[in-house]
Amino acid sequence: MSEAASRSALGYRNDPFAGELPLMLAAPALFAANLVVARWAESAAIPPVFLAFGRWALAFAILLPTVGPRMWALRGTLLANWPRLLLLAGLGMGVAVAPQYIGARHTSAANIAIIFAACPAVVTLIETLVWKAPLSKRQAVGMLLAIAGALLVLSKGHLEALGSLSFGQGDLWVIAAASGWALYTVFGRRLPLPPMPATVKLASLIGGGALVLAPFAALEAWTGTVPNFGDARLYIALAFLAVVPSLGAYFCFDRLVGMAGPARASMALYLIPLFATLAAWPLLGEAPQAYHAAGFGFILAGLVVSNMRRR
């Protein structure tokens, strides 16, 4: 009996803890590192579009020595599908990142997290309205639990505080970024690329993201906003962003979308505010509180309920 058959016989594919749930925990933890490090990088005065372009360019350079030969072998497939590649790269690596970095300079982390927490609802709405995808009761209940947990964390245990949040210029940039991510999630499933090795797909999207952002980074530099190449923090930030949220998070999330579908995969985004708060403790000196544990419980319950399937 093959390994795949053995795992199927053991019920592996029906067990959310054995398949989708680990990715639902890993992907948002890696994405959360992006927000924390990007905010830390502000102290180095790194231009936001350059930061977005630099992380993808460096990530592509890291992958190229090992993935380059396979990309060359599949150059016919990649060239035949370049419109879809650029669409996905432009949305997931361009629109979802650069505006987020711009907005982070003008709005709070709580506002950013709340806006991105709305992504699963946007994904579900697009899936339901455009592709007539059904919404199960489990998914609806899971989404409500996850929303409650995210709001509990973001309001620091006082839900009435949410009413005092205001939305301004920075929030509009973040809304644009969240919209890009929602569309990337949906199109990644509904307009899939041909079968190819995961590393080739990831490298192609990352390279496409750097390509899409390059002219905007050049325009940013032309206006006089250039990084300080003598500051070591520039290279630390770029190296971390290139490896952790760029390579690690996107690989995990793409795997998750393929396994769970865009609507259920996007539920993992509710964990980003929690993980960002936990990461900020050693890096920014912000200690977690009891409401973080309570929020995690709601969010984790929502993810488990959303992933439960009939046996």
* Mean pLDDT, rounded, for 37-65: 87
Quote the CA–CA distance of 246 and 262 in Å, as a whole number.
Answer: 19
Q: Check whether 291 has a pLDDT greater than 80.
A: no
pLDDT given for residue 171 in this prediction:
75
Quote the CA–CA distance of 110 and 149 in Å, as a whole number.
Answer: 14
Q: Is residue 262 one of the residues assigned to a domain?
A: yes
Cβ neighbours of residue 158 closer than 8 Å, sequence gap 6 or more:
none
CA quadruple 203, 205, 206, 212: dihedral sign: positive
More confident residue, 152 or 137: 137
b/e sequence 38-69, b meaning 16+ C-beta within 10 Å? bbbbeebebbbbbbbbbbbbbbbebbeeebee
Q: Is residue 8 one of the residues assigned to a domain?
A: no
Quote the CA–CA distance of 34 and 98 in Å, as a whole number.
Answer: 12
Residue type, 185: T
Q: Is residue 155 one of the residues assigned to a domain?
A: yes
Model confidence over 221-237: pLDDT tens digits? 999 888 888 888 889 88
Give percent of the chain above pLDDT 70: 81
pLDDT given for residue 16 in this prediction:
47
* Mean pLDDT, rounded, for 59-71: 95
Q: pTM of the full predicted structure? A: 0.76
Q: Is residue 203 one of the residues assigned to a domain?
A: yes
Q: Check whether 21 has a pLDDT greater than 60.
A: yes
pLDDT tier at 180 (50, 70, 90 boundaries)? Answer: very high
Q: Is residue 15 one of the residues assigned to a domain?
A: no
Residue type, 311: R
* Mean pLDDT, rounded, for 49-60: 94
Quick count: other Cβ atoms within 10 Å of Cβ 310? 6
The answer to whether the CB of 44 falls within 8 A of the CB of 233 is: yes
Q: Check whether 203 has a pLDDT greater than 50.
A: yes
* Mean pLDDT, rounded, for 37-47: 76
The answer to whether the CB of 238 falls within 8 A of the CB of 226 is: no
Q: Which domain holds residue 185?
A: 25-307
pLDDT given for residue 309 in this prediction:
61
Quick count: other Cβ atoms within 10 Å of Cβ 283? 12
pLDDT tier at 10 (50, 70, 90 boundaries)? Answer: very low
pLDDT given for residue 260 in this prediction:
78
The answer to whether the CB of 105 falls within 8 A of the CB of 177 is: no
More confident residue, 52 or 140: 52
Q: Is residue 20 one of the residues assigned to a domain?
A: no
By the 10 Å C-beta count (0-12 exposed, 13-18 middle, 19+ buried), 103 is classed as: buried
* Mean pLDDT, rounded, for 252-266: 79
Quote the CA–CA distance of 126 and 239 in Å, as a whole number.
Answer: 35
Q: Is residue 124 one of the residues assigned to a domain?
A: yes
Q: Is residue 138 one of the residues assigned to a domain?
A: yes
Q: Structural domain tally of the chain?
A: 1
Q: Check whether 75 has a pLDDT greater than 80.
A: yes
CA angle 175, 42, 54 (to 5 degrees): 80
Q: Find the range with the poorest average confidence among 109-123, 124-138, 179-193, 265-279.
A: 109-123
CA distances to 34, 95, 176, 300 from 170, in Å: 17, 14, 10, 30
